[in-house]
């Protein structure tokens, strides 16, 4: 219990500190000016147009980073339990490739951004991600039973298929569209098409799905023991698996449509916290949500401020999480010998 309290305290402090850094650091306004402008904004005061625009961009990126981190971390935690696979992550069902295919199709068709809750590109990416999940589930569901092993294999095949379609589209579209698709596929929060309305829309979906996953934490504890054990303890296993897959996929598709695929968050964060939080899924999922949001926000703030300091292009945050997550996860694999 003491380790859990210490871990949650650390995560809350880290999340608050990173949120403050994300709002105060960046080009255009220094930390002191940003703090004064933020206090005036929170107090309902008027701000110069430039200061207001800068703060709006920073807060929008912070909200997008929090949505991405919460969605991927909670989805990863739940999928690892349902699939009983410590290597499961939110993209294992082909969600990233499906979303990428939808975005590539919309970009190639010339469907630009918009100020509505979701633009055409966002909607196509969202639909492609859900389509990939649906195909995988249909293929894996035989004789009324959703086979975990078949679902994993179907996810790999579906992901490879949609990746091939993305490469086909990139081979035939103009160079400017190729660059836009490549940036989206790297997971980019610097996209000016990410507006407060789109972040709010994604936040509603992520919030609802994450809340439902948290409410289902007790059954997740049962199914992690094995499907047969969970069935004898009164859990309707097949319905429960479909419900968890639907919630995790919907949350992941929402953030993939918003910012593109940002890797390793849903894979590394649950592993990093499981040693101190323990195997019970309610505290683990709550801690993972905090940790995921803090990780993505910290990564985005770091790449943004570093690019400003060295006067270089901003590296997509998905590249940062991959550079940090891949070595860390390899170290976990070596230590635990899966």
Confidence band, pLDDT 50/70/90 cuts, at residue 71 = very high
The CATH number for 221's domain is 1.10.3470.10
Contact 209, 251 (CB under 8 A): yes
pLDDT digits (tens, 9 = 90+) for 235-247: 888 888 889 998 9
Proportion of the chain in helix, strand, coil states, percent, rounded to 5: 75, 0, 20
Q: Which residues constitute the domain of residue 33?
A: 2-336
- pLDDT reading at 161 higher than 70: yes
pLDDT digits (tens, 9 = 90+) for 78-107: 999 998 887 788 888 889 899 989 988 888
What's the chain's average pLDDT?
Answer: 87
Q: Which long-range contacts (CB under 8 A, 24 or more apart) does 237-240 make?
A: 238/144, 238/145, 238/146, 240/82, 240/216
**pLDDT at residue 11 in the model:** 95
**pLDDT at residue 115 in the model:** 47
Mean pLDDT of 195-210: 93
Name 141's bridge partners.
Answer: 146
Indicate the DSSP class of residue 315: P
Domains held by the chain: number: 1
| DSSP track, 62-121 | HHHHHHHHHHHHHHHHHHHHHTT-TT--TTTTSHHHHHHHHHHHHHHTT----SSSS-HH
- pLDDT reading at 309 higher than 90: no
**pLDDT at residue 142 in the model:** 67
Q: Could you give the C-alpha distances from 22 to 138, 294, 312, 325, 332, in angstroms and in order?
A: 42, 10, 19, 21, 29
Mean pLDDT of 175-184: 82
- pLDDT reading at 111 higher than 80: no
Look at residues 273, 301, 122, 268 and name the one whose alpha carbon lies nearest to residue 200: 122
Confidence band, pLDDT 50/70/90 cuts, at residue 37 = confident
Confidence band, pLDDT 50/70/90 cuts, at residue 281 = very high
- pLDDT reading at 41 higher than 90: no
- pLDDT reading at 26 higher than 90: no
Q: Where are the alpha helices (DSSP H) in 109-195?
A: 120-140, 148-172, 175-185
Torsions phi, psi of 173, nearest 5? -95, 160
- pLDDT reading at 8 higher than 70: yes
Indicate the DSSP class of residue 193: T
Q: Where are the alpha helices (DSSP H) in 173-216?
A: 175-185, 196-215
| Angle CA 144–149–150, to nearest 5 | 55
Share of the chain above pLDDT 70, in %: 95
Confidence band, pLDDT 50/70/90 cuts, at residue 302 = very high
């Amino acid at each position: 219990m003491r380790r859990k309290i210490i871990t949650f305290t650390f995560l809350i402090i880290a999340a608050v500190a990173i949120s403050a850094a994300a709002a105060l650091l960046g080009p255009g306004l220094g930390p002191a000016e940003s703090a004064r402008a933020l206090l005036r904004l929170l107090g309902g005061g008027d701000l110069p147009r430039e200061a207001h625009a800068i703060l709006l961009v920073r807060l929008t990126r912070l909200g997008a980073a929090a949505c991405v981190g919460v969605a991927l971390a909670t989805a990863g935690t739940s999928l690892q339990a349902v699939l009983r696979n410590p290597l499961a992550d939110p993209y294992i069902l082909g969600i990233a490739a499906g979303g990428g295919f939808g975005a590539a199709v919309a970009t190639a068709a010339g469907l630009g951004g918009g100020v509505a809750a979701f633009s055409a590109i966002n909607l196509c990416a969202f639909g492609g991600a859900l389509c990939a999940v649906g195909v995988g589930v249909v293929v894996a569901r035989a004789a009324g039973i959703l086979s975990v092993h078949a679902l994993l294999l179907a996810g790999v095949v579906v992901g490879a298929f949609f990746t091939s379609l993305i490469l086909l589209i990139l081979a035939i579209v103009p160079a400017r569209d190729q660059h836009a698709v490549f940036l989206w596929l790297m997971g980019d929060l610097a996209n000016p098409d990410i507006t407060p309305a789109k972040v709010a829309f994604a936040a509603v979906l992520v919030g609802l799905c994450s809340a439902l996953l948290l409410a289902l934490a007790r059954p997740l504890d049962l199914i992690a023991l094995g499907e047969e054990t969970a069935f004898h303890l009164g859990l309707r296993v097949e319905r429960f698996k479909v419900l968890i897959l639907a919630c995790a996929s919907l949350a992941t598709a929402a953030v993939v449509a918003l910012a593109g695929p940002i890797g390793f968050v849903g894979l590394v964060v649950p592993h990093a916290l499981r040693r101190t939080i323990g195997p019970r899924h309610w505290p683990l999922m709550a801690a993972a949500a905090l940790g995921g949001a803090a990780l993505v926000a910290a990564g985005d703030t770091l790449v943004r401020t570093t690019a400003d300091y060295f006067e270089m292009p901003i590296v997509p945050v998905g590249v940062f999480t991959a550079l940090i997550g891949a070595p860390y996860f390899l170290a976990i694999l070596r230590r635990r010998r899966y």
